[in-house]
């Protein structure tokens, strides 16, 4: 994994860079992260605290976390814990999704008959966020689409998983 460490209102020292790289390197043990992955870390200083934002694109989605703490090193540790938890949840979801065998699936399809199924209605609140955050929310929720309000255009948008492994975006007029 390669690192892109940026400081906003703070100069990233060698010891800070070393600590961040060492901690994030622990995530490489998971199969979702390969050596060409670029981990983007943004450290910001506020009057009473420091904030660290970590974004790591993986094979199945984007791992992202934000942690605000008085101490940068403590914030890095908390961020790593959150990222490890996200990776664990993603792996669990993948394992559950692929447990049913192909034979069982074919048997179920043959047994199913056309039945008039009622339509389930669900109301949502489309939160304001950017595209990357919407993709992350979609991956974390386990759905293949996510509806949100784009923070730039302030219009409703839908991000979805494409069959070829990429993502698609539907924007409203």
CATH code where residue 92 lies:
3.30.160.100
Looking at the fold, whether 15 and 84 belong to one and the same domain comes out as yes
Q: At what angle do helices 72-97 and 131-141 cross, to 10 degrees?
A: 50
The reply to whether 90 and 152 lie within a common domain is no
Q: What pLDDT is stored for residue 102 in this prediction?
A: 46
* Same-domain pairing of 44 and 129: no
| CA-wise closest residue to 41 among 5, 82, 81, 2 | 5
Of 152, 58, 60, residue with least CA distance to 97: 60
Highest mean pLDDT (candidates 81-85, 96-100, 154-158): 154-158
Q: Is 29 left (phi over 0), alpha (psi -120 to 50) or beta?
A: alpha
Q: Are residues 13 and 75 in the same domain?
A: yes
Residue 6 and residue 79 share a domain: yes
pLDDT value, residue 96? 64
User: Residue 157: which domain range?
Assistant: 124-173
Is the pLDDT score of 134 beyond 70?
yes
Q: What percent of the chain clears pLDDT 70, i.e. is strictly above it?
A: 83
**Mean pLDDT of all residues in 35-59:** 87
pLDDT: which is higher, 49 or 99: 49
Residue 111's pLDDT is 54
- State the chain's mean pLDDT as an integer: 82
- DSSP assignment, residue 158? E
| pLDDT at residue 157, rounded to an integer | 94
Tell me the percentage of the chain whose pLDDT exceeds 90.
25
Residues 91 and 128 in one domain: no
d(CA 14, CA 17): 5
For residue 84, pLDDT over 90 is answered with no
Indicate whether 80 and 134 sit together in one domain. Answer: no
When divided into structural domains, the chain yields a total of 2
130 vs 89 pLDDT, higher one: 130
């Amino acid at each position: 994994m390669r690192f892109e460490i940026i400081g906003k209102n703070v100069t990233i020292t060698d010891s800070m860079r070393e600590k961040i790289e060492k901690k994030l390197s622990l995530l490489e043990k998971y199969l979702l992260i390969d050596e060409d992955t670029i981990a983007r870390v943004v450290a910001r200083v506020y009057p009473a605290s420091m904030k660290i934002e970590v974004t790591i694109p993986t094979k199945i989605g984007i791992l992202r976390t934000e942690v605000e703490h008085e101490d940068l090193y403590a914030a890095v540790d908390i961020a790593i814990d959150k990222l490890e938890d996200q990776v664990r949840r993603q792996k669990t979801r993948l394992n559950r999704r692929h447990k049913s065998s192909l034979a069982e699936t074919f048997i179920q399809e043959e047994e199913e008959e056309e039945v008039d199924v009622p339509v389930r209605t669900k109301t949502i609140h489309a939160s304001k966020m950017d595209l990357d955050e919407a993709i992350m929310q979609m991956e974390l929720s386990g759905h293949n689409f996510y509806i949100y309000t784009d923070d730039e255009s302030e219009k409703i948008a839908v991000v979805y998983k494409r069959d070829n492994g990429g993502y698609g975006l539907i924007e409203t007029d």
